Structure 1
Amino acid sequence: MANAAVVILAGTDGHENMGRVVNGLETAREFAETDGDEVELIFDGAGTQWIPELEDEEHDYHDLYATVQDQAAACDYCAGAFGVEDAVADAGVVTLDDHDGHPSIRSLVDDDYEIITF
C-alpha cells in the first residue's frame, strides 16, 4: 500500500509541459488503479490552467484525465491568480486552501503521503 500526492505545477505553454501533465496523470492513474493505494491529484500554481484544457472532451488527454478526475483538486489561490477559478468551479473540482489559500503539502507529508511533482 502506498499513499501518493501527485502535484501538477507545469503550465500549459510548451510541449515539455504537455509531457509533464501527461506523466503526472499517468502516475495518478497507476496509483488509483492499484488496490490499497491512495492518491491525491493536485493542480497547483500554473498547473491549475490544465483543468479547463483537460475538461474539453476534444482534448487529446481528456480521457486520461477522466480516469483520475475524482481524485483531482486545485489550489484555491492559484486558480484565481491564473484566471481559471470559474472553470475549476464549473468542472466540480474541489479547491484547497488549507495553508494561506494554498494546499497544505505539510499535512500530506504528515499523513505519510509521498509527494511527486510534475
Structure 2
Amino acid sequence: MANVAIVILAGTESHADTGRLVNGLEAAKEFEENDGDEVEVIFDGAGTEWIPELENEDGDYHELYQAVSDDAAVCDFCAGAFGVGDAVDDAGVVRLDDHDGHPSIRSLVDDDYEIITF
C-alpha cells in the first residue's frame, strides 16, 4: 500500500512539458489501478495551465486525465496567477489553498504521502 501525491508543475509550452504531464498522469493511473494505494494529483504552478486542455473532450490526453481526475486538485493561487481560474471553476476541480493560497505539501508529508513531481 502506498500513499502518493503526484505534483504536476510542467506547463504547456514545450514537448518536454507534455512528456512530463503524460508521465505524471500515467504514474497516477498506475497507483489508481492498484487496490490499497492512495493517490492525489495536484496541478501546481504552470501545471495549472493544463486543466482547460485536459478537460477538452477532443484533447489528446483527455481520456488519460479522466482516469485520474477524481483524485485531481489545483493550486488556488496558481490557477489565478496563470489565468485559468474560470476554467478550473467550470471543470469543478477542487482548489487547494491550505498554505498561503497554495497546497500544503507539509501536510501531505505529515500524512505519510510520498511526493513525486513532474
For the aligned pair, the TM-score class normalised by the smaller chain equals over 0.9
CA RMSD of aligned residues (A): 0.4
Q: Distance in 2 between matches of 1:7 and 1:42?
A: 5
Q: Distance in 2 between matches of 1:109 and 1:115?
A: 7
Gaps of 5+ in 1: none
Q: Distance in 1 between matches of 2:99 and 2:11?
A: 22
Q: Distance in 1 between matches of 2:78 and 2:4?
A: 21
Instruction: Give the corresponding residue for 1:90.
Output: 90
Instruction: Give the corresponding residue for 2:54.
Output: 54
Q: TM (normalized to structure 1)?
A: 0.99
Q: TM (normalized to structure 2)?
A: 0.99
Q: Which amino acid aligns with 1:7?
A: V
Q: Could you say what secondary structure the match of 2:36 adopts? A: coil
Residues 52-103 of structure 1 deviation map (CA, whole Å, 9 limit, x = unaligned): 0111111111000000000000000000000000000110100000000000
Q: How many residues align?
A: 118
Identical-pair percentage? 77
Q: Distance in 2 between matches of 1:107 and 1:38?
A: 15
Runs of 4+ in 1 over 3 A off after TM superposition: none
Q: Distance in 2 between matches of 1:41 and 1:28?
A: 7
Q: Distance in 1 between matches of 2:91 and 2:67?
A: 14
Is 1:102 equivalent to 2:98 in the alignment?
A: no
